[in-house]
Amino acid sequence: MIFRNRALARVGAAALLASGVFTALGVPAQAAGTETDLALDVVGTRVAAGADGKVVFAKVTNKGKNTPTNLSISADLSKVDTEKAVPLPAVPDCSLNVADWTCIVPTELLPGPGETVELPVVLFKQEDIKGTYKAPVTFTIESTDDTDASNNSKTATIELTDESGPDLLVLAGDVKQAVKVGEDGELSIVGDLHAGQTGLLQYFVVNQGDQATAGLTVTVKLPKGVTFTEAEPDCEYNAANTEAVCTYRQLPLVPVDEDTDGNDDVFSGGDFFHLLSVGADVKAGSLTGGSVTVEPIVAERGLRGMAREANKLPENVTGIRATDVDASDNTDGYAVVVTAKGGSGGGDGGSLPVTGPQAGLIGGIGGAVLLAGGAMFLAARRRRVVLVTPGDEKSTV
């Protein structure tokens, strides 16, 4: 499989940021031994009627006790009509063929125990395609260190729908490092996360559909042994302080391909974060069971002009819940990785500037992903993605 569109190839490499978006908060630590159990899931394969495509994610979760030394992912495209849809990996080290592709996962993205790596696959809808279309794609992961092959393959149905609406994606990063808050509100990374310390949960949300939301609702669940460090004004908490439901009625999100001006107040997505407190008696290891779930709030009438800006909805507009075009990517799990004291890490790992409210930090790490996705879809609208065998490739130099 070879691109005849060089611009698309360059932007495709940029989408790797989606899988490495949280690596600034720590790479997996190598444990003694490398045998482990890796499990695969695939989400986000339905495309809204008016969208040019979307980013699908293959999620690889480490359910074992060690970090693998290698990992590859492949996809069988033999049943896909590439005149209608093309799923292409956004990982740099790939072997591409007409009927399949295989990619080597970079070492810095290998998931540690309890962790998950999200690998992006850009699903292009070919130009001038009308109506609906479905096709199965089988994804498979391989590692010499994997001890259980029963959960290494997943067949997902890519679907071009006639359904319009918002399509929210959420990606949450594993919490692996401790932070401190300075007097000026600046967050600093101080090393590995230990019991009794404060960690930072980061996630970002993007609208990959063809209609804007008037806002969104976010539900955050914490693993056992972790609580929220402080309350935020837009969130309601349970009695145990382990679950929060945050409603952002004044944060409309437009479709990503309509977010073309980086200097306005119209957003297709946003970065969010919460400070988490790890109990002093928590044992070292990966605390699993955490999750972030998003739901769109849609206005009773379409948003126009100023109503699309992240400010305040008009008084005559009431937000209502709506069905997401593809709910499979509305929830993402994460782990809180607690390191035994005396282990590796420590010291000041850098600062994370904080502006605005505790949750709802717009821009930053997620913005790079949104930019990459938007550029890919805009380019795809102007040129078809053509798959050819290596022998058929014609030089354009």
How does pLDDT run across 242-301, given as a tens digit for each residue?
999 999 988 899 998 887 776 777 888 888 889 999 999 999 999 999 999 999 998 665
CA-wise closest residue to 80 among 15, 10, 160: 160
pTM: 0.81
A 10 A CB-CB count for 234 gives 19
> Would you state the structure tokens that stand for residue 227, as one six-digit string?
């609580």
**Measured CA distances, 206 to 8, 105, 213 (Å):** 21, 24, 11
The average pLDDT across 365-385 equals: 46
CATH of 6-390, one of 3.40.190.10, 3.40.50.2300, 3.40.50.720, 2.60.40.1510: 2.60.40.1510
pLDDT over 70 for what percent of the chain?
Answer: 72
From the centroid of its chain, how far is CA 289? 17
Residue 388: is its pLDDT beyond 90?
no
Q: Which residues contact 397 (CB under 8 A, 6 or more apart)?
A: none
**Residue 202 amino acid letter:** Q
> So where are the chain's domains?
6-390
